[in-house]
Structure 1
Amino acid sequence: MYLSISGFLPAEDEDDSLKFDLDLNESYNSRILQLLGHSSLNAMSEGEWLLTKEQVIELSQIIGESLPTDLDLYIGVLA
C-alpha cells in the first residue's frame, strides 16, 4: 500500500476532472501519517482526505517537492 495525492480545482468550479496526481514513495509514510494524525495506512484507507493549506506546505517539505496550492488536494491509500 502507498499514499497518493490527487488534485482538483476548488469545489466551486464546475470542472471536476483530475488536475494533479502524485504517488508518494513509501519511505515517507511514517512522517506523513504522523503529520496527518493517523495511526496506520489501514486507518487512512477509508477514503481520501482533504488536505489543509498548512498540511500541503508541510508535505512539500517532507517529500522535497512543490505541491500545487491552487488546487484542492486529497490524500488516500492505494493498494
Structure 2
Amino acid sequence: MYLSISGFLPDEEEDDSLQFDLDLDESFNGQIVQLLGHGSLNAMAEGEWLLTNEQVTEISKIIGVPLPTNLDLFIGVLA
C-alpha cells in the first residue's frame, strides 16, 4: 500500500477535474502517517483526507518535491 495525493481546484463548481496526482514512494509512509496523526496506514485507508497548508508544506519537505499550493490537496491510500 502507498499514499497518493490528488489536487483539485478550490472552486469545484467551475471545474471538478483532477488537476494534480502524485503517488508517493512507500518509504515515506511512516513519516507521513505520523505527521497526519493517524495510528497506521490501515487507519488512513478509510477515505481521502483534505490536507491543510501546513501539512502540505511538511509533506513537501519529507518527500523533497514542491506540492502545489493553489489546489485543494487530498491524501489517500492505494493498494
TM-score (normalised: structure 1): 0.96
SS at match of 2:75: strand
Corresponding residue for residue 37 of structure 1: 37
Corresponding residue for residue 70 of structure 2: 70
Letter in 2 for 1:62: I
Runs of 5+ unmatched residues, structure 2: none
Corresponding residue for residue 59 of structure 2: 59
| Cα distance in 2 for residues equivalent to 1:13 and 1:71 | 14
**Post-superposition shift, 1:12?**
5.2
Q: How many residues align?
A: 79
- Name whichever of 37-46 and 6-15 sits farther off: 6-15
Corresponding residue for residue 17 of structure 1: 17
Identity, in percent, stands at 77
Runs of 5+ unmatched residues, structure 1: none
Distance 1:19 1:12, change over 3 A: closer
RMSD: 0.9
Contact 1:11 1:72 in 2 (8 A): no
Moved over 4 A (4+): none
TM-score (normalised: structure 2): 0.96
Q: Does 1:4 align with 2:8?
A: no
